[in-house]
Amino acid sequence: MLEEFEMELNLRGYSPKTTENYLNTLKNLEKYSKRSLKKLKTDDIKAYLFYLQREKGNNLKSIHRHLNAIKTFYRTNELNNAENIKLPKLTKDFPIYLKIGEIKKLISSADNTRDKTIIQLLYASGLRVSELAALNIDSIDENTVKVVRGKGGKDRITYIDPSTMKLIKEYITTRNDKENALFINKYQKRISVRSIERIIQKYAIKTDINKKITPHTLRHSFATHLLQNKANIVVIKDLLGHSNLSTTQIYTNLTDEYREDIYNKSYPLKNINL
C-alpha cells in the first residue's frame, strides 16, 4: 500500500521531500501500532498523535502535518479511518520580511560575486530556494527565469530586473567550468539547497539584522514589497507559483501593518495643534 501511495503522490506532483515525509509518518504509525495501516481504527490513530504530542514533544503544527499525511493516505485508498479526527486550528504566523534598507545591507555584505548573485536573485525573483538551486544557465533568458517543475510539479516564468541580469552575467564570466547549473559549489558541481541556506545564514549574522533571515525571508520580502508598490495580487500569486490565491493573501496583512505604520508617521493632523 505504501508503494502504491508513493506512486500516487508522484503522479499528483508532490515534491520528493513531501513524499518522503508522508511515507515516514505512515511507517512510524505502523511501527507504533504494530498492525497494518489498513487494520487501524480511528482510536489507534488518535493514540499515535497523542503519543507524538506527549512523548515526543511535537507541537500542534507538527501534529497537523502528520495528520495531513495520514488523512491523505486513507483518502487515496478510499478509506475513512482518519476522517473524523479533528485538531485545534493553527494560528497563522505572519511571514518575516526585510525592509528595503535591510535588503540592501544583506546584498552589500556578500564578499564574492556568486553569493551576492544568489542573495539578489532570491529577492528579485521570489524563487523558492529549491527552485534557485535547480536553475541552469539556460534557465535565464534576458529578463525571464524559467522555473521547471517547481513546487507541485508546475513550470512557470518569473522575471528579473536589468541590474540582477547584469550581476548574473558577471558571475558566469568568473567561472571556468562546463557545468550547466547556474550556481555551483567549490567542487564545480551544482550547489545544494543546504549550501544556499548556509550562505544566507552567514551574511545574516554578518549584517547583524535582528530578524530570522532565511532564503524564504527574501521570498516573503519580494511579495510584500510588490504589494506595497500596488502590484496586482493575482499577478504576485502567479510569480510566486502559488496554487491558491488564499496562500498569497497572507501578505495583505503585512501591507496593512505597513500602511498603518505610514499613517502613524504622517497622518494629516500630526503637525497641527488643535
- Which of 46, 64, 99, 216 is the catalytic position? 216
Q: Is residue 171 among the annotated active site residues?
A: no
Torsion of CA 85, 87, 89, 95, to 10 degrees: -110
Under 8 Å between Cβ of 73 and 22: yes
Q: Is residue 151 among the annotated active site residues?
A: yes
Scan for cell 489498513, then name that residue: 38
Nearest to 192, CA basis, from 133, 152, 147: 133
- DSSP letter for 145, please: E
Q: Is residue 48 among the annotated active site residues?
A: no
Q: Is residue 242 among the annotated active site residues?
A: yes
Nearest to 97, CA basis, from 247, 232, 257: 257
- Which of 66, 114, 116, 151 is the catalytic position? 151
Q: Is residue 225 among the annotated active site residues?
A: no
Cell matching residue 126: 521570489
d(CA 249, CA 86): 25
Under 8 Å between Cβ of 68 and 85: no
Q: How many helices and strands, by DSSP H and E, does the chain display?
A: 13, 3
Q: Is residue 154 among the annotated active site residues?
A: no
- Which of 97, 123, 171, 251 is the catalytic position? 251
- Which of 66, 114, 116, 219 is the catalytic position? 219
Within 10 Å of residue 188's Cβ, how many Cβ atoms? 12
**3 state SS of 163:** helix
Residues annotated as catalytic are: 128, 151, 216, 219, 242, 251
